[in-house]
Structure 1
Amino acid sequence: MGRFNNKNAIITGAASGIGRALASRCAADNMKIVLADIEEEALYKADKELTETGATVLSVVTDVGNEGHIHTLAEKTLSSFGGVQLLFNNAGVGGGSNIWSSSIADWQWVLNVNLWGSIYTTRVFVPIMLELQEDCHIVNTASRAGLETGPGNSIYRVSKHALVSLTETLYHELKLTQSRIGVSLLCPGFVNTRICDAGRNRPSEYSKPGDITPPSLQESMIIEFIRAGVEQGVSPDQVAAFTFNAIEHNKFYILPDSESKDAIQQRMEHILNEHNPTFIIPETQE
């Protein structure tokens, strides 16, 4: 998919971070943009900023982990713009402690957003795209955490590994149908976003008393390491540029963090050689 002018794009998690950067890039390419996000105030702020640049924008408050919200998103998109050619499944959160200490509410919240959100949008929007019978593209935002192994951030890792498999399978299935829908898997490393503060948007049904367990000292150290990496990470604009370049060239794997390839290669070699997993601690800038 090499031409974006006058195309329609839906972006989940569009109010901040990578999603907000993707929206700006869509606006620069003269696309009609549907912004979907659960954070209402930030969503309408993004809407106002983009509209002031002359962009055509529709904002829909959306919890991607709620199937009904995705159907509403589709209905509003079709009634306003008539179709969608680009779908960015970008919404994502992190939460919980280690695998055995994380609450069921932690698991439900993170998996609902990071995995079920993409399942819902795929089921709803792929048929719409197929019916258009024109060039379309889907980008699922996973993470380098979905291509490697390691301790900490456990539910996030599980969700992103599942999203990698979902996206690869979707790619193959669409190829078999000879559809005109391209698919890309975005796996960034550390990006300077508010992912570490995702709890600000945690729905009340996943925050019952006793559900949130204080992290242990070891877990706190991992959390602080991740936060430092995020604060020193690449800009969302850089990730958006990588992403659009990949769409233009119909490229599936998008790895903005070149250093992640070492860890990915090590994991693949361990699997092929039947070695036990090891972990490379990602480097952060001084």
Structure 2
Amino acid sequence: MKQFEGRTAVITGAGSGFGLEVARIAAARGMNLVLCDVQADALEKAAAELEGRVQVMARRVDVAKAAEMEALAADVKLRFGAPHFVFNNAGVGSGGLIWENSLADWEWVLGVNLMGVVHGVRLFTPMMLEAARNDPAYEGHVVNTASMAGMLNAPNMGVYNVSKHAVVSLSETLHQDLALVTDQIHCSVLCPYFVPTGITASDRNRPAELAADKPTQSQLIGRAMSDKAVSSGKLSAADVAQMVFAGIDGQRFYVFSHPHALAGVQTRFEDVMALRNPSSPFAAKPEIGEKLKAALREMPVK
């Protein structure tokens, strides 16, 4: 995309973290904003900050729910027409040994992290394609938020890994599919590593119908390790938002916040090509792996 002024951005998870910072940059570039979040107070605060600078439509939406996303898409089309930038960004975090995740854990994490992206793609991409067919000057870009957990498989966070690998796969397929039918719409996948955001406190927005069971010891251990890693991140959400727009400006598909983490991705691919068992993710810091192993093996047997 080369032109942003007067065009429309749809941003999910817009009340905090990457979504809010991307909305701030989009507003600075003169874009109309459709802000979506499941947390009403955070959404209202974001909308109040940005209203007056650009046109803002704020909607409380649970991205996991098809009907709510369908209503959102209809409202966007009615007010702004086809959007030009769609940031499928809403996400939640969850960990623990993979067999200890409850059905509710799977439904919640996959519902938000994967189906939220699915709904954004299936509802807004056809609008964008129609706009492109009708206007040779139309430009569009979709950015889906995955994670380095979509490229790697850290232990004790399986449900999250699964959701983010699916987003990477969806996004790579979207890139290929769009290339078959248009030169006017492109996409990127955002794979952040440890960046201080509110994702480690995701339970604050967990729906009552998918309430969590009492956390297992492995989930408590995973949460503590994630809290420490995320809170110690040196890059900010604002830094990552700048990377998102650099990716759009440069028409780059992969957007990595921490390129050094790609060494682990290379090792994983080499394992696959060599048909060898997965390498330890703690090779560079074995003390962390030993600490996690000791903590998990000391858990009481149920």
TM over 0.5: yes
Alpha-carbon distance between aligned partners in 1 of 2:222 and 2:68, rounded to the nearest angstrom: 34
Letter in 2 for 1:51: E
Match in the other structure for 1:277: 278
Match in the other structure for 2:16: 16
* Offset at residue 241 of structure 1 (A): 0.4
Alpha-carbon distance between aligned partners in 2 of 1:18 and 1:224, rounded to the nearest angstrom: 22
Task: Name the SS of the counterpart of 2:99 in structure 1.
Answer: coil
Does residue 58 of structure 1 match 2:57?
yes
Alpha-carbon distance between aligned partners in 2 of 1:46 and 1:167, rounded to the nearest angstrom: 27
* Offset at residue 56 of structure 1 (A): 1.6
Match in the other structure for 2:298: none
* Offset at residue 181 of structure 1 (A): 1.1
* Offset at residue 79 of structure 1 (A): 1.9
- Residue-by-residue CA offset, 1:24-77 (whole Å, 9 max, x unaligned): 01011010010000001110110001115x122110110000001111111221
Does residue 198 of structure 1 match 2:202?
yes
Change (3 A) 1:84 1:22: same
Match in the other structure for 1:89: 88
Match in the other structure for 2:169: 165
Match in the other structure for 1:187: 191
The within-5 A match list for 1:1-286 is 1-52=1-52, 54-133=53-132, 134-207=138-211, 211-216=212-217, 218-233=218-233, 234-281=235-282
Identical counterparts, % of pairs: 39
Letter in 2 for 1:257: H
- Residue-by-residue CA offset, 1:92-127 (whole Å, 9 max, x unaligned): 001252211111001000000000111111111111
Alpha-carbon distance between aligned partners in 2 of 1:106 and 1:213, rounded to the nearest angstrom: 12
Q: Structure 1 stretch 75-84 or stretch 162-171: which is displaced more? A: 75-84
Alpha-carbon distance between aligned partners in 1 of 2:81 and 2:181, rounded to the nearest angstrom: 24
* Offset at residue 197 of structure 1 (A): 0.4
TM-score, with structure 1 as normaliser: 0.94
Task: Name the SS of the counterpart of 1:259 in structure 2.
Answer: helix
Letter in 2 for 1:35: L
Structure 1 unaligned segments of length 5 or more: list them.
none
* Offset at residue 224 of structure 1 (A): 1.5
CA-based RMSD: 1.5
* Offset at residue 219 of structure 1 (A): 4.2
* Offset at residue 235 of structure 1 (A): 0.6
Alpha-carbon distance between aligned partners in 2 of 1:120 and 1:179, rounded to the nearest angstrom: 23
Alpha-carbon distance between aligned partners in 2 of 1:220 and 1:77, rounded to the nearest angstrom: 40
Alpha-carbon distance between aligned partners in 2 of 1:171 and 1:43, rounded to the nearest angstrom: 30
Q: Structure 1 stretch 69-78 or stretch 236-245: which is displaced more? A: 69-78
Alpha-carbon distance between aligned partners in 1 of 2:65 and 2:153, rounded to the nearest angstrom: 29
- Kindly name which structure, 1 or 2, has the bigger radius of gyration based on alpha carbons: 2
Given that 2:43 and 2:58 are in contact with CA atoms closer than 8 Å, whether structure 1 keeps it comes out as: yes
Letter in 2 for 1:192: P
Alpha-carbon distance between aligned partners in 2 of 1:74 and 1:277, rounded to the nearest angstrom: 42
Alpha-carbon distance between aligned partners in 2 of 1:215 and 1:33, rounded to the nearest angstrom: 40
Given that 2:95 and 2:156 are in contact with CA atoms closer than 8 Å, whether structure 1 keeps it comes out as: no
Structure 2 unaligned segments of length 5 or more: list them.
133-137, 289-302
Given that 1:3 and 1:248 are in contact with CA atoms closer than 8 Å, whether structure 2 keeps it comes out as: no
* Offset at residue 179 of structure 1 (A): 4.3
Alpha-carbon distance between aligned partners in 2 of 1:45 and 1:88, rounded to the nearest angstrom: 19
Letter in 1 for 2:197: T
Task: Name the SS of the counterpart of 1:243 in structure 2.
Answer: helix
Alpha-carbon distance between aligned partners in 2 of 1:255 and 1:249, rounded to the nearest angstrom: 14
Alpha-carbon distance between aligned partners in 2 of 1:108 and 1:116, rounded to the nearest angstrom: 10
Letter in 2 for 1:127: P
Task: Name the SS of the counterpart of 2:6 in structure 1.
Answer: coil
Q: Structure 1 stretch 75-84 or stretch 145-154: which is displaced more? A: 75-84
* Offset at residue 147 of structure 1 (A): 0.2
Given that 2:93 and 2:109 are in contact with CA atoms closer than 8 Å, whether structure 1 keeps it comes out as: yes
